[in-house]
């Protein structure tokens, strides 16, 4: 029998993501291979999109980040906008002037422009303004003073501003995703990146497998599974400081953590008995309380948005299906019926939709179910989709996918119209978890 190596992982702090004033100190972070960039490929056209023009920024040539391109890519990825190509977009500063007649003739409903200029060593002043071309009115703008390392984040903040002004919903582009990367047989990394996959930073490195990252509602802590002690153990780690603790290290296997909406409780899967069963434990560690006692397997728990029930996977009816029950195991009901194999549940923030992976023949495919009507439809293309996670506004999903023998991350708009592939060169990436908003609306 091959002996398992007992190699401890190295926990690392991830820089606090927020627009920092010039001169403020950010926490140290270890870049992943000099911040290896992702490739972003977008396919599909939304059926109902807002036509919008985003001008190149005045002063862009001296700026190390393509601000307008980042904003355009964010808006396109959402599926809510038809963005005027850069070649068709004249430079329009935040000072205007509004070209309402031209925009109306070009069937543009909104237009935005900005400027960027150096404001000191490694410091930039960014200004942006948005106009309603149809109503012919000024929709307001943003003025941001940021460090060089926060230029992409500033662009995401501007995209969020545009999204909220034109849709009435809060944008998610300035949020983060966590996922697991593998480069080589014994090299695993827990990564935290911008929502578009850029700026991936290592929160933990290990020679043993890492699995199942799950965000706490505060956006500062991640739960995950590590095999570094020779068996699966659930840890919770502060991504700002790198401090971590084992919160589920019971006899047998400890896996599949999920935070409650208030952040005080974790649902975990334990094998203290003969089969995998769901328990709850305090987020800081402590006594495990069983949710369901049964001879069948119960795994992959996720909390409902109100925190009063759990969705999970069980084979109690002979094949893996998704069920719902109270936190004490009461009111158990089966949720999925279409197909003989349905796993990896994710619940939308409004509690109305269930994303899951369904096996269709030999194809593992992302599906979406309306929880009120029971209607289902395919969102992914397969053949190896996995681990969906909703954006905080519920309008986009991120999930793992197999692409020509490589594990990548994909996003898809909720209507299925626009898909994005995020590919990290030189590594396999999987099990994404979309983080919460960390700043007030």
Q: How much is the pLDDT for 19?
A: 43
Buried b (16+ CB within 10 A) or exposed e, 323-344: bbbebeeeeeeebbeebeebbb
Q: How much is the pLDDT for 94?
A: 79
Q: Give the predicted TM-score (pTM) of the model.
A: 0.91
Q: How much is the pLDDT for 86?
A: 63
Q: How much is the pLDDT for 106?
A: 87
DSSP H helices, 131-269, are 151-167
Q: How much is the pLDDT for 6?
A: 39
Rounded-to-5 percentages of helix, strand, coil across the chain: 10, 45, 45
pLDDT tens digits for 295-331? 899 999 999 999 999 999 999 999 999 999 999 999 9
Q: How much is the pLDDT for 418?
A: 87
How wide is the angle at C-alpha 328 spanned by C-alphas 322 and 334, nearest 5°?
20
Count of residues for the chain?
A: 441
What's the gap between Cα 154 and its chain centre? Answer: 18
Backbone angles phi, psi at 23, to 5 degrees: 95, -15
Neighbours of 275 (CB within 10 A): 13
Q: Which residues are bridge partners to 74 per DSSP? A: none
How wide is the angle at C-alpha 282 spanned by C-alphas 276 and 288, nearest 5°?
35
Backbone angles phi, psi at 160, to 5 degrees: -65, -40
Q: How much is the pLDDT for 2?
A: 34
Whether the Cβ atoms of residue 45 and residue 418 lie closer than 8 Å to each other: yes
Distance, in Å, from the CA atom of 236 to the CA atom of 222, rounded to the nearest integer, reads: 5
Contacts 24+ apart (CB under 8 A), 343-346: 343/300, 343/313, 344/300, 344/313, 344/386, 344/387, 344/388, 345/300, 345/302, 345/311, 345/312, 345/313, 346/302, 346/388, 346/389, 346/390, 346/397
- The low-confidence residues of the chain, meaning pLDDT below 70, are 1-8, 15-47, 86-90, 423-426
Percent of the chain residues past pLDDT 90, beyond the cut: 72
Q: How much is the pLDDT for 37?
A: 44
Q: Is the dihedral of CA 390, 223, 237, 423 positive or negative?
A: negative
Q: How much is the pLDDT for 33?
A: 33
Q: How much is the pLDDT for 40?
A: 52
Q: How much is the pLDDT for 159?
A: 98
Q: How much is the pLDDT for 162?
A: 98
The two tokens of residue 279 are 């328990």
Between the CA of residue 113 and those of 68, 78, 129, 223, what are the distances in Å?
9, 20, 6, 40
pLDDT tens digits for 370-381? 999 999 999 998
Select from 358, 406, 349, 407 the least CA-distant residue to 380: 358
């Amino acid at each position: 029998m091959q002996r398992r190596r007992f190699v401890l992982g190295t926990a690392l702090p991830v820089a606090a993501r927020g627009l920092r004033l010039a001169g403020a100190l950010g926490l140290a972070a270890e870049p992943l291979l000099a911040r290896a960039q992702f490739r972003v490929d977008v396919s599909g056209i939304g059926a109902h999109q807002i036509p919008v023009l985003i001008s190149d920024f005045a002063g862009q040539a001296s700026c190390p980040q393509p601000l307008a391109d980042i904003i355009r890519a964010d808006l396109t990825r959402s599926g809510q906008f038809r963005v005027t190509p850069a070649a068709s977009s004249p430079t329009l500063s935040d000072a205007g002037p509004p070209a309402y007649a031209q925009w109306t003739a070009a069937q543009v409903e909104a237009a935005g422009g900005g400027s960027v200029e150096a404001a000191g060593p490694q410091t930039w002043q960014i200004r942006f303004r948005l106009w309603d071309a149809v109503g012919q009115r000024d929709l307001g703008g943003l003025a941001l003073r940021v460090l060089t390392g926060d230029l992409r984040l500033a662009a995401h903040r501007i995209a969020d501003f545009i999204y909220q002004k034109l849709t009435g919903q809060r944008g998610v582009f300035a949020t983060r995703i966590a996922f697991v990367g593998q480069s080589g047989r014994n090299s695993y990394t827990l990564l935290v990146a911008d929502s578009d996959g850029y700026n991936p930073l290592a929160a933990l490195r290990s020679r043993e497998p890492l699995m199942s990252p799950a965000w706490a509602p505060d956006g500062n802590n991640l739960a995950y599974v590590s095999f570094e002690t020779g068996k699966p153990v659930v840890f919770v780690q502060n991504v700002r400081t790198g401090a971590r603790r084992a919160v589920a290290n019971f006899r047998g296997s400890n896996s599949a953590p999920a935070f409650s909406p208030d952040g005080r409780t974790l649902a975990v899967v334990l094998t203290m008995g003969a089969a995998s069963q769901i328990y709850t434990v305090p987020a800081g560690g402590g006594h495990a309380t069983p949710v369901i006692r049964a001879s069948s397997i119960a795994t992959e728990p996720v909390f409902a948005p109100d925190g009063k029930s759990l969705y999970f996977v069980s084979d109690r009816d002979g094949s893996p299906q998704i069920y719902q029950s109270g936190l004490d195991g009461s009111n158990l009901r089966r949720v999925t019926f279409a197909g003989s194999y349905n796993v990896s549940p994710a619940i939308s923030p409004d509690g109305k939709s269930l994303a899951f992976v369904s096996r269709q023949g030999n194809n593992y495919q992302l599906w979406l179910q309306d929880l009120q009507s029971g209607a289902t439809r395919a969102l992914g293309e397969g053949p190896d989709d996995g681990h969906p996670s909703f954006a905080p506004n519920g309008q986009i999903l991120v999930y793992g996918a197999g692409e020509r023998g490589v594990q990548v991350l994909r996003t898809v708009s909720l209507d299925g119209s626009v898909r994005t592939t995020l590919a990290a060169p030189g590594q396999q990436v999987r099990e994404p978890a979309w983080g919460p908003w960390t700043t007030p609306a």
